[in-house]
Structure 1
Amino acid sequence: MGSLEEAIKQKEFKDPYNKLVVNLLYTHSYLVSAQNSLLKPFDLSPEQYNVLRILRGQNGIPTTVSSIQDRMLNKMSNASRLVDKLKAKLLVERRECSSDRRQVDILITDKGLDLLEDLQVRIEMANKQLLNLNEQEVDRMNELLDKLRG
């Protein structure tokens, strides 16, 4: 991939803080594009994939659309619309909540679980290739990003 300066054809930055913000934004776009390419053959967006992973993490316990929205990586996503699209693909189901009829419970289907299982190895391999970091560097990067968000 090369340096940020080469990638965006900029000679220098005002300061290292400015460069880091631009670098993070550029890298985010790079990662999202790679993830889009990986998920496209499965007719999934990264946001839909995120919803499926959230639901798998529920271990069969129903959850609400608002709970999914709270846990999503992209807070600007419309969880209700994403659930509708996943329902149309038979990857999730909506059920009336037995304790509160105004509430709708969302569950991942066996088809959704099977899709995630099929994707798991591909995602893990792609992540290792894409990141181009060893395990120590990955651990350090995770620490630094956690620190950055304070």
Structure 2
Amino acid sequence: MSGGGYDLLSSRTVEVPELRSFLLDTFAVPETGLFVAPADRVDEELRDVPQDLVFAAFCTFEPVEGHFATTLTVGVDTNRARHVGHLDFATRFATHFKAMVLYGDAEPPGLWTVILADGTRLLATLDEDDDRVTLTTATAPVPELPEVAVDAGL
């Protein structure tokens, strides 16, 4: 089994049925091959699932504060699920759910990629304090967050 993973922050909380539908479509996995649950309920949700069962895609989420509403973690068995690049996944999520998405892949140290609901990409710096994540600076204006400073030279 080979795997891949995706971590992102979303400005919008997504209900489980909507999230399941999006992940099933994105990774082309069968309903029985997908697990989705809040991070604090994983053990409870898996209580009656055979321990040797391996899901094609496994997603957990939990709330955060600040400019984002939730953090999402997805693990994928790339032998049983469609391969989707990190940027493609984050862009699909942002545009599908009309959310601002933050993720990291190959940015310079200290910078993160922000994808706006229309698919526009920016680089940004963050302030993280416990479960509170706020953008501090971005390479272009963030329409939903006029208080975020703009520095095109990031």
Structure-2-length-normalised TM-score: 0.31
Q: Between Structure 1 and Structure 2, whose CA radius of gyration is higher?
A: 1
Q: Of Structure 1 and Structure 2, which has the larger fraction of its residues in strand?
A: 2
Structure-1-length-normalised TM-score: 0.31
Quick one: higher RCO (CA 8 Å, sep 6+), 1 or 2? Answer: 2
